Structure 1
Amino acid sequence: MSRPVLLVLAALVASGCATASGSVSARDALVGRWTMERVTDGGNDVSATANPAGDRFIVLHADGTFESGGRPYGRNTGRWVYNARTRRLGLDSDLGPDDDSTWAVSLRDDTMEWEGVGSAYARRFRITSRRVR
C-alpha cells in the first residue's frame, strides 16, 4: 500500500442516521465529512508533510462510497465497509489494490482515530480526524 494512499485516508467518522430505536449504529456514526488534523508515522508527527496545505479530508457516504482529497495528493474515490465487531474500516480505492487500506477506528464525540492495520508499513500510521458540521 502506498504512503500517499494511507495518508489520504485521513479525516473521517460521524453524523449518522437514527435507527427505529432512536440510536445511531456504529456504521452510521462514521458517515460524514472528516478533516485530517494529525498524522503520525512510527510515533513521529508528520502532519506538515502529510497535509501541508491543511485541507485533506475524507467523506464517507451512507451508500458505502467515499471520496477524499486535498493537496498534494488530489482526489480519490471508492467504496468503504465497516465491521463493528472488529472496528475495522476498509477502503477499496478506485485507483486499484495498491491504494486499498484497512484501519482500526475509534470515535469519540467529533474525533475519529485511525490506526493502520495489516502490513508493518500500514501499522506505523495513526491519523486523527475531526468531523465537519
Structure 2
Amino acid sequence: MSFDRRFELPNFDDMDVDLTACENCDFECGTIGYCLDECGENYIICTLFMDKGYNIANKDWGRSSDGKLIPGVEIYKNQTQKFMKAMSKLGHTCTTYNHPLGKSYLNTVIIDGGVEPIDLALDFLEMEAIK
C-alpha cells in the first residue's frame, strides 16, 4: 500500500446508509427532524451539533492499529472535552484520534468503539448545549 493511499478518506457516496426507517415514512422530515435521504448523513450531523453550540462537526474516520477505518465525529479540539463529557452523561464512551497529516486544531472522536454517528442522532438531540 502506498503512503498516499493510506491516508485517503473513503468517499461519502460509497458508504451504505441504512434507510430502512425511511421506507414507509410519510412524515416529511423523518424521525430526527431531517430526511436522511434528502439531506444526507454529514449535513444532519453537522446541523445537530451546531444547534447544540458546537462550531462545526463532520463525519470523519480514524484508523485502528490494523488499518481499519473507524467512523467518528470531527470537532474542534477546544470543544472535544465538553463533547466527550456530554456523551459520557448519556452513557457512551469516547476516544480521540488525531490524523497524522490532519489539522492540528481538529480531533476525531470515536464513540463506543466505532458506532456510526448517524445511529446516535437521537442521542445528539438529547445532548446538553455548550455555553
Same fold (TM over 0.5): no
Higher relative contact order by CA 8 Å / sep ≥ 6: 1 or 2? 1
Between structures 1 and 2, the one with greater strand share: 1
Structure (1 or 2) with the greater helix fraction:
2
Q: What TM-score do the two structures reach when normalised by structure 2?
A: 0.25
